[in-house]
Amino acid sequence: MNHSFAYLLVSHGSRDPRHQLAMEAIATLVAARLSQPELSVNGMHNGTHLSEGDRALGRSEGQFQGQFHQSEAGILPAGESAFAPPFSEERIASVPLVATAALELQPLPLHAQIQQFAERAIAQGYRSVKILPLFLLAGVHVAEDIPAEVAIAQRQLGQRIELKQCTYVGFYSQIQHLIVNAFEVPDQIPVNATKILVAHGSRRSQGNDTVEAIAQDIGAVTAYWSLAPSLEDRVLALSNMGYRDIAVLPYFLFAGGITDAIAQKVEQLSDQFPKIHFYLAQPLGARPAFADQIAALLQSDDASLRLHCEAIPHGR
């Protein structure tokens, strides 16, 4: 199988090792899905089903932690091979080049990471690289920082290879539905519990529109880690209104410092509001269903379901 594109998955970056482990797991899974489309589960395009790999791990269970208890989540178990089977020698050539990079907290700036990856792609015969930001909000990083870094890399590479920046994953309803569906564990949360959707937040105009729309769809209120209203603001207001069951839903891809801080905040709020029962969901993590959706976006024959990617002019 010949692949037209190499793929670079770009995240914000984190000092938390779980973040990079999750990114590497997703890259491996996406490569496997792209090389063997039959591994993807039918019906994944609408984001309403977990993959068989998820079911094998019992991913539909335990995503909510009663009260404020939190388990390890967000990365695949060490040595887990059910979702990314090892490639035989004869199949190595059929596996597309997929790697990860980060905007911040790396030894090299993003444009240098892109250049290094592009050189690998050129050496393997690729003519184009698709760069996919694994971000959920259209903030400054997505709208300004990443495009600037991609443009620098393209200038340095010249016409030897084409860089295409794709729309961030959080833009696509398939990914939004996948995250929301992961929150739905009715046997572990009261049906009448009030939901608070907690996102990082963006100060960019309209940067939080997606979060607000999702919250409206699932009957939740929003809170932001870096903006008002905060989680504490929302809990105080709901407490004054008499609510006694609150589900906190972190709108994040992977576990990390912020999701840990949210868990700590829920612990504090549980002490501060002893009459309220809190239920804390886990972020999506590097589950196979996420890789299924990314692969589907990258290779769909349906233009309405396919990633939108734009080439970066060489002289930009």
pLDDT in tens, 145-158: 999 999 999 999 99
| Residue-range domains of the chain with CATH | 5-63+76-171+286-311 (3.40.50.1400), 173-281 (3.40.50.1400)
Q: What is the pLDDT of residues 179-211, one digit of tens each?
A: 988 887 656 777 789 999 999 998 888 889 999
pLDDT tops 70 at residue 273: yes
Q: How many helices (DSSP H) and strands (DSSP E) are in the chain?
A: 10, 10
- Adjacent-strand bridge partners of 133: 10
Percent of the chain whose predicted confidence (pLDDT) is above 70: 77
> How many whole angstroms separate alpha carbon 127 and alpha carbon 77?
35
Q: How many CB atoms lie within 10 A of CB 113?
A: 21
Edge-to-edge strands, sheet with 245-250 = 64-66, 277-281, 245-250, 194-199, 220-224
β-bridge pairing 194-199 and 245-250: parallel
* Average pLDDT in the chain: 82
Q: How many CB atoms lie within 10 A of CB 106?
A: 13
Q: Are 46 and 300 in contact (CB under 8 A)?
A: no
pLDDT given at position 52: 37
Whether the CB-CB separation of 60 and 171 falls below 8 Å is answered with no
At residue 95, the 3 state secondary structure works out as coil
- Is 285 exposed, middle or buried, given 0-12, 13-18 or 19+ CB atoms closer than 10 A? buried
Query: Above pLDDT 90, what percent of the chain?
Result: 64
Single-letter amino acid code for the residue at 255: A
Predicted local distance difference test score (pLDDT) of residue 233: 98
